[in-house]
Amino acid sequence: MIGAAYYSDSEKLLDEGVAEYKSGNLDTSFHIFEDITLQNPSWPYGWLWKGTVLADLKKQEEADVAFKTGSCLLNPDSCEDYSKGDSGKIYRQYETFPNDHASLSSSFFVDYPQSFETGNNYYILSDDPNKSTSESKQFVHPELFDKEGDLFNSAGHIDEAIQSFQHAEELDPDNSTYSRKLGDMYAKKGDLNSALSAWNRSIEKESEKEVIDDILKKRSDTFSALGKPYNAGKELEKMNFPRNNPTTIMEKGDFFTQSGDYHLAEEAYLEYLDAFPGNTDASLGLANAQINLGKYQKGKKILDSIPESSLNPKQMDLYTKTKMNIPEQSEKLPDLTFLFRNHVLYLFIIIGIVGIVFFRKKIFK
């Protein structure tokens, strides 16, 4: 069994290597992580960090081997080929090793420390079974759990990836990446409410507007999947650069139409047509919203401008249903909605009503 002091040495080396890596000294950090993997080949975090540096050095084949090794140590079930012998050791067969691992054969034995387990406790680094999880985690860099989560995700182990990103977020709660990835994993698992919560935490910490827009779109799609079109539309309303992705403007109008909020639907379709005039779907959506708001003349004018011969079956269905909602006497009905769009006139109407109530005796005597 590997002693606690031996692991402590590896942890100290890892801290040095991470510091060099963050300073941009890739060669120096690589040699430190290389020393860790040679001295302590059963410790996964040396392999994972070595893979990170190799990937940055554009040595992808060697990086893949390092990531594969670290992932296998973290989760034996993810290994392509392994078997447990009577000695308690785990035998692994790998296809290839990088040239700088000449000292290692293509197959090797690994001893785990007593408290190193797969599952919920895979992150424990000490061989002291009485040491708490929080005490054991303090030596682990959140970037390692992040990398670990990526590996589990690639291998299809979603529950394990969720645990990894949870640990990363616990260690560095101000990093928006970990909560964003955690939300992605919950969405993959089908736990949509947890996904929404994790993505919301990510938005609160994120400063890049493009990333925020991407998360808002995911939240919108999730609300739609939950049957909450109004919430889905409101998420799209928060986007910083909606015109970079015009389909989101159209979706916003569609979501508000589904929820029966025709005022917001009208605004969305007008926004789309302002950027992309003449679009048939947006025109039909706008006409439908206006007719549902009682703006019959405006809606009818839009419908009359659309040639029926240009409509596909889906558009024709909406066109027919929308036209049927126009009252026969709509042309004789004045459009008074401008009174309620003009705040000054709206105020005068209220003042007039109040005046009539208070002075009704003088007015009607």
According to DSSP, residue 254 is labeled H
Tell me the three state secondary structure of residue 236.
Answer: helix
What are the Cα distances from residue 359, in Å, to 322, 347, 350? 45, 18, 14
End-of-domain residue from the set 99, 116, 133: 116
Last residue of a domain, one of 90, 116, 142: 116
Assess if residue 53 is contained within a domain.
Answer: yes
pLDDT score recorded for residue 345 = 59
Nearest one of 49, 46, 34 to 7, comparing CA atoms: 46
pLDDT per position as a tens digit, 126-152: 334 444 444 433 345 788 788 878 888
pTM over 0.85: no
Residue range 67-98, pLDDT digits in tens: 888 877 776 665 654 333 333 323 233 333 23
Inter-CA distances, 280 with 175, 247, 311, Å: 43, 14, 8
pLDDT score at 344: 59
In a domain, 234, yes or no: no
Can you give the CATH number for the domain in which 58 is found?
1.25.40.10
Q: Using one digit for the tens of pLDDT, what is the confidence trace for 295-336? A: 999 999 999 999 999 999 999 999 999 999 998 765 554 555
Rg (CA), the chain: 31
pLDDT under 50 in the chain at which residues? 1-7, 81-139, 333
164: Cβ contacts below 8 Å, ≥ 6 apart:
145, 146, 148, 149, 152
Residue by residue, DSSP assigns 117-178 as: -SGGGTT---S-TTS-HHHHHTTS-HHHHHHHHHHHHHTT-HHHHHHHHHHHHHH-TT-HHH
Domain end residue (candidates: 94, 116, 138): 116
Q: What was the pLDDT predicted at 62?
A: 87
The pLDDT of residue 55 is 85
Q: Is residue 241 part of a domain?
A: no
Domain count, the chain: 2
Look at residue 245 and tell me if it is in a domain.
Answer: no
Question: Is 92 contained in some domain?
Answer: yes
At residue 139, the pLDDT reads: 43
- The verdict on residue 196 lying in a domain is no
pLDDT of residue 74: 72
Whether residue 178 contacts residue 168, with contact meaning beta carbons closer than 8 Å, is answered with: yes
What pLDDT is stored for residue 150 in this prediction? 85
What does the alpha-carbon distance between residue 32 and residue 306 come to, in Å, rounded to a whole number?
69
CA distances from 124 to 36, 78, 169, 181 (A): 17, 18, 17, 22
CA atoms lying within 13 Å on the CB side of residue 296 = 15
Q: Is residue 14 included in any domain, yes or no? A: yes
Domain with 81, as residue range(s), is: 1-116
How much is the pLDDT for 113?
A: 32
